[in-house]
């Protein structure tokens, strides 16, 4: 599968990083990476030194001439993890001022999976309305919420659960978390 992983400037960048790691372990995927300027700043605070961002190709956030910005070269899916409220608003309103939002717009126009992981809490009414608009446009909203039935013991367990849910939505096999009813 050819897909885009975008990391934007909300807390929780480890989710996008872990998704990249899992996808890079599966040779059949071609991954494009987009990182917003705000995400770079968040990464400096949240990621330990030396964490690598694996991807087949990293595009500059302002490169609107990148092939993935064209509907004639649209990838099969896109995940924005985490999705800042700024990016959510831009996607919901079709304001394609950077490559992340332009590629998201292409996904919506082409009817391809666009998975957004909005990471703010509590939610304001404008954020809820933007989620509604994004969903009406065809995006899949997957807030990174904790599940307790797998009995997570660490932040890594919680992150793997969330990344596993993303992979479930995309129809990709994984063993990142214990599913409901499975023995521990």
Examine residue 177 and state whether it is found in any structural domain, yes or no: no
CB 36 within 8 A of CB 61: yes
pLDDT of residue 55: 65
Quote the number of domains for the chain.
1
Examine residue 47 and state whether it is found in any structural domain, yes or no: yes
Examine residue 182 and state whether it is found in any structural domain, yes or no: no
Condensed to tens digits (0 to 9), the pLDDT of residues 4-27 reads: 999 999 999 999 999 999 999 987
Examine residue 101 and state whether it is found in any structural domain, yes or no: yes
Q: What is the CATH number of the domain that holds 14?
A: 3.40.50.1950
Examine residue 92 and state whether it is found in any structural domain, yes or no: yes
Determine whether 183 is exposed, middle or buried from the number of CB atoms within 10 Å of its CB (0-12, 13-18, 19+).
Answer: exposed
Examine residue 29 and state whether it is found in any structural domain, yes or no: yes
Q: In terms of residue numbers, what domain contains 52?
A: 2-170
Examine residue 53 and state whether it is found in any structural domain, yes or no: yes
Q: What is the mean pLDDT of the chain?
A: 95
* Tokens 């605070």 belong to residue: 45
Q: 9-22 burial string, b = 16+ CB within 10 Å, else e? A: bbebbbbbbbbbeb
Condensed to tens digits (0 to 9), the pLDDT of residues 80-130 reads: 999 999 999 999 999 999 999 999 999 999 999 999 999 999 999 999 999
Distance CA 4, CA 184 (A): 33
Examine residue 112 and state whether it is found in any structural domain, yes or no: yes
Does residue 181 or residue 168 have the better pLDDT? 168
pTM, to two decimals? 0.96
């Amino acid at each position: 599968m050819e897909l885009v992983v975008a990391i934007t400037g909300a807390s929780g960048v480890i989710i996008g990083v872990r998704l990249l790691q899992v996808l890079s372990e599966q040779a059949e995927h071609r991954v494009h990476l987009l990182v917003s300027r705000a995400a770079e700043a968040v990464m400096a605070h949240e990621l330990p030194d030396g964490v690598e961002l694996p991807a087949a190709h990293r595009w500059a956030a302002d490169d609107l001439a990148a092939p993935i910005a064209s509907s004639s070269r649209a990838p099969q899916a896109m995940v924005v993890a985490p999705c800042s409220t700024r990016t959510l608003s831009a996607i919901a309103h079709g304001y394609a001022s950077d490559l992340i939002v332009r590629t998201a717009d292409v996904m919506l126009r082409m009817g391809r999976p666009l998975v957004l992981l909005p990471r703010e809490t509590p939610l304001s009414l404008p954020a809820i309305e933007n989620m509604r608009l994004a969903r009406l446009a065809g995006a899949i909203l997957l807030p990174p919420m904790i599940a307790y039935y797998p009995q997570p013991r660490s932040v890594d367990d919680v992150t793997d659960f969330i990344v596993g849910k993303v992979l479930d939505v995309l129809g990709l096999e994984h063993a990142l978390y214990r599913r409901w009813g499975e023995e521990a």
